[in-house]
Amino acid sequence: MRHLLILLLGIFTFMSQPAFSSPVIILLGPPGSGKGTQAVRISQKLAIPHISTGDIFRYNIKNATPLGLKVKEYLDAGKLVPDSVTLEMLFDRLNKDDCKNGYLLDGVPRTVAQAEAIQEYLKAHPHKLLVCNLVVSDAEILKRITGRRSCTACNKIYHIESAPPMQKETCDICKGPLTQRTDDTPAVVEERLKAYYSQTKPVEDFYKKVSQVHDVDGAQSSDQVFNSLLKILSPSA
């Protein structure tokens, strides 16, 4: 009887803990490297939430929330939002229930200070860290970003040349109108690339010290990138 109780208690304790192998996936790569597109597909395939700090900021700007009003000027200028603001918002999100079996981070961390704060947080939250880095040249980035369009309703991403919608300016999935992000103009893209090289590139070296960083050729087709990522993230899928 006593053994049975101990066994039941053990099973209960085990079930109430998040699985040790909950994946925490971090996607690194320059703006326009395809992080957003791949993040949506990976999070669907692995059934974990996709957390994009850029999407959360844009949602708040669109709805004119206090956070949105605070960060709008940074996004419009292609500059990074201050770490304190980004991290407070991020940890709020990570503490939600749906994150307890893992999640995928897209667009964060973007500074070494953010990476350090996330690493501290992860120490107290069992997980399996998987870091992938999408590698794409600057010339390809400019071409991709300036042709990028997204659905105002469901966020699906298109490209006027490489992935056009079936009907001009209309989403294939939900028929919502497509729009260009206001920070996807050449001048702002240049600022975003500057911020990437000075503040975000060093994040790669940070992760090389604490984990393995899997480089993936982001110049491949979207399907090829997806398959390369899946082999790394979920070898049995």
Vertex 214: Cα angle to 211 and 218 (nearest 5)? 145
Question: Is 179 among the residues that bind Zn ion (CB under 5 A)?
Answer: no
Q: List the single partner that 54 binds among ligand ADP, Zn ion, none, CB under 5 to 8 Å by kind.
A: ligand ADP
Q: Is 4 helix (H, G, I), strand (E, B) or coil?
A: helix
Give the amino acid at 162.
Answer: S
Segment contacting ligand ADP by CB under 6 A, of 103-111, 134-142, 166-174, 202-210? 103-111
Q: Are 44 and 164 in contact (CB under 8 A)?
A: no
Q: State yes or no: is 58 an active-site residue.
A: no
Q: State yes or no: is 148 an active-site residue.
A: yes
Segment contacting ligand ADP by CB under 6 A, of 51-59, 94-102, 118-126, 153-161? 51-59
CA-CA distance, 125 to 11, in Å (whole number)? Answer: 20
Q: State yes or no: is 41 an active-site residue.
A: no
Q: State yes or no: is 175 an active-site residue.
A: no
7, 69, 153, 210: which one contacts Zn ion (CB under 5 A)? 153
Q: State yes or no: is 2 an active-site residue.
A: no
Q: List the single partner that 154 binds among Zn ion, ligand ADP, none, CB under 5 to 8 Å by kind.
A: Zn ion
DSSP string, 43-106: HHHHT--EEEHHHHHHHHHHTT-HHHHHHHHHHHHTPPPPHHHHHHHHHHHHTSGGGTT-EEEE
Catalytic positions, written as ranges = 35, 110, 148, 181, 192
The residues that touch ligand ADP, with contacts defined as CB under 6 A, are 31-32, 53-54, 57, 74-75, 78-81, 86, 107-108, 110, 114, 183, 192
